[in-house]
Amino acid sequence: MKNTKKCPKCNGHEIYTNEGRMKQGERAGLHLGGVRRFLISSYICAGCGFIEEYIENDDLQNEKKMSKLKDKWKPLN
């Protein structure tokens, strides 16, 4: 949804996001123990309610934060 601007579940195009906006509430960030919070951008399809979430680019490019994430989480492959 983030890149295609289309819902992968219902193919709808009415997508809303909080990217680049002030984040509040428990879905605003991801906490990893001693790691500072990662800010999360959410994309929601207004047609079916499907949600995708991504770590914001500033955090994704922060080597220190990403290194800690990789130490705490296991890879899928």
- Residue 10 domain-assigned (yes or no): no
Tell me the C-alpha distance between 68 and 33, whole Å.
10
pTM, entire model? 0.76
Give the range of the structural domain holding residue 46, as residue numbers without chain letter: 15-72
pLDDT tens for each residue of 26-46: 566 777 666 668 888 899 999
- Residue 32 domain-assigned (yes or no): yes
- Residue 6 domain-assigned (yes or no): no
Q: Which of 51, 71, 68 minimizes the C-alpha distance to 59?
A: 68
- Residue 26 domain-assigned (yes or no): yes
Question: What's the confidence (pLDDT) of residue 38?
Answer: 84
pLDDT tens for each residue of 52-72: 999 888 889 999 888 888 888
Q: What is the mean pLDDT of residues 8-23?
A: 89
**What's the number of domains the chain is made of?**
1
- Residue 1 domain-assigned (yes or no): no
